[in-house]
Structure 1
Amino acid sequence: MYQIGEVTKRLNISADTLRYYEKIHLIPPISRSTSGLRLYSDKDLSRLKFIRRSQRMGFSLEEIAQLLTFREAPQQAKPEIRQLAGEKLADIETNLQELQTLRNELQLLVNLCAGSEDGCPIIDGLEDD
């Protein structure tokens, strides 16, 4: 069993976040010591790692709650999991395209700035719509 301080260090997550996850039922109620300290099990840590990894993949807390439900019986939920992951992948693809466009625009402005003797093409480019 791990106390909250140990969990925060192991998983690089704040105590407030842990308490919030419990409050919104993303993790089940954590067992407590006789003095009232939260005690996290290996299973709790596994669940928290799953949540953190899902967040890094861009899933919202609501989507993570769904994934955690699916995690209990993944074979039965396979179509729903695939659909949710496919939607997230499409979102990421869209974001990548937008980032590539922004990168190209900024690269152009930086190049224009290097050759400009009047004004600032970067500021001018940011003012244009």
Structure 2
Amino acid sequence: ILLILINVLFTPTLLWVLFPIFGWLIGLVIHITAYIVYARGVFPIAKRVVIFNTVAYIFVNLLLFVINGYTDALLIKIKPSYLWFLYPVFFWGGALIMHYIVYLAFYNKKLYEEGEKQSRMERAIEKEMQKMKKNSML
């Protein structure tokens, strides 16, 4: 609220307060995502990384879109519109798609003998349980 007040009082024609607001929005959304991931018990770290990467991609590119649109509105008299925010959208989007492919190919759940899918944690627990049974029989 203080930043909005400073912006309105000293530079009412330039709404620079949008930039820190969107920056805080990115941090807030990442924290909310962390809470949701923790509350739902998403275990595999690779899955968490994909989720956080996607959320960061969406909200950082939203900020870049706002910056591009706002600076275009200020500079429209000098030169025509230049959509520079599309570069990070496409290149980061391509990297994100590759990240999804790698996740699905290498880190997704594996099929077991029984025909059910088990995560790495479930397999480790099962292996440890078998060791404990084996040791208790001795």
Structures share a fold, TM > 0.5? no
TM-score by length of 1: 0.37
Greater RCO (CA < 8 Å, at least 6 residues apart): 2
Structure having the higher Rg: 2
The structure in which a higher percent of residues are helix is: 2
TM-score by length of 2: 0.35
